[in-house]
Amino acid sequence: MDNVLSSTKVFNVFVTRLDVSDDVSIHNAINSGISKFGSIDVLLNNAGYGAYGPLEAFSKDQIVRQFNTNVIGLLEVSKALMPHFRKNKGGIIINISSIAGKMTLPFGALYHGSKFAVEGISEALSFEMEQFGGKMKIIEPGAIATEFAGRSLDMSNDEKLTEYQDLVGKLLSNVKNMFEQASPASVVADVIYEAATDNTARLRYTAGEDAKIIIDNRHQLGDDAFITEIKKQFGISLK
Mean pLDDT, 10 residues at a time, the chain of 239 residues: 48 77 93 94 93 96 96 97 97 96 96 97 98 98 76 85 94 84 90 97 95 94 94 83
Q: Give the pLDDT of residue 145.
A: 82
Residues 6+ apart with CB under 8 A from 202: 137, 195
Q: What's the CA gap between 31 and 3, in Å, rounded?
A: 13
Q: What's the CA gap between 217 and 215, in Å, rounded?
A: 5
Quick one: which H or E segment has residue 59? none
Active site residue 97: yes
CATH of 4-233, one of 3.40.50.720, 3.40.30.10, 2.120.10.30, 3.30.70.920: 3.40.50.720
Q: What angle do CA 162, 167, 169 make, to 5 degrees?
A: 95
Active site residue 232: no
Query: Which one from 102, 115, 135, 137 is the annotated catalytic residue?
Result: 115
Residues 6+ apart with CB under 8 A from 142: 99, 182, 183, 206, 207, 208, 209, 210, 211, 212, 214
Q: What's the CA gap between 53 and 16, in Å, rounded?
A: 34
Query: Which one from 6, 7, 78, 97 is the annotated catalytic residue?
Result: 97
Q: Structural domain boundaries of the chain?
A: 4-233
In b/e form, how buried is each residue of 164-184, taking b as 16+ CB within 10 angstroms? beeebebbbeebeeebeebbe
Q: What's the CA gap between 72 and 70, in Å, rounded?
A: 6
Active site residue 137: no
Tell me the pTM: 0.89
Q: Give the pLDDT of residue 151.
A: 62
Query: Which one from 7, 102, 111, 114 is the annotated catalytic residue?
Result: 111
